[in-house]
Amino acid sequence: MKSLMDIHSIVQEELRKRYMLEPVKLKHPFPERPVRALGLMKINGEVFSTDKLLRIVFIRPDLPIYFSVRSMFIRPRVELDLPVFAGEVMRTGKKKMVIVDIHRTGKTHHDDSALFGEMLKVQERYPELIKYTKQRQDAIQEVFSKAACQVVIPEEMEDQAVRLWKEYLNLFCDVVDRAKPVAGEDLKKTQEVFEDYLKTLVDHDPGVGIWKVLFGAKGGVERSMDMHFGR
């Protein structure tokens, strides 16, 4: 049975079937132990890029014994005007919260209903897994697509969660592989939406907020922008 705690190596193996993953040199390399966490938290990870993917981010924060996170984020290059892939596993005790999604960032005019339809078809192949659906009750829920997989599962469902994750990943990669760069006014609009999105992230995104708590306002924003967007 595949373990969700190994999802990063599983995803990297899957991506290497399609792409040459180039390691990104970060301003603050992994691993890190935030002083504000009294040295109890260790943050490890990897960041890659490809010709079409600006950032492929894997982050692994761990606290002793009871708490671990496996987070990943794939951002295509801005000129491709595509959604992002996001996935997270949070382990507390014996249960794991799993979120896997493909969604747009910022306000957009795009109609991604065909993609969401394909994602929902994937979910239909895992009815036992989807029975464990539990959506978040905070503002970040608005970011997710209508086809996001959000479940809290026991150990015996991990294999199904890994299989669904891989199917979502390959759907996303198919979209990336077909994409052609936009130009002219379309590119300008795409860049404007992206810049507005970055401003919103700095002020409101819970993930950026956690980095601020761990490394201070300046250090947290710098790490998040560098890791996820090459800024």
Neighbours of 228 (CB within 10 A): 22
In the beta sheet, which residues pair with residue 17?
Answer: none
| pLDDT score at 142 | 64
C-alpha angle 201-113-125 in degrees, rounded to nearest 5: 100
- Tell me: the pLDDT tens digits for 153-207? 999 999 999 999 999 999 999 999 999 998 898 888 888 888 877 777 777 666 7
Please give the C-alpha separations between residue 85 and each of 24, 29, 71, 136, 215, in angstroms, as whole numbers: 18, 23, 11, 18, 25
- Tell me: the pLDDT tens digits for 19-65? 999 999 999 999 988 888 777 788 999 999 999 999 999 999 887 66
Per-residue tokens: 64: 């002793």
Q: Is the pLDDT of residue 7 over 60?
A: yes
Cα gap 24→56, rounded to integer Å: 9
Cα gap 14→9, rounded to integer Å: 9
Fill in the DSSP letter of residue 31: P
| pLDDT score at 108 | 65
Structural domains of the chain in order of their starting residue, each with its CATH number: 4-181 (3.40.1500.20)
| pLDDT score at 174 | 97
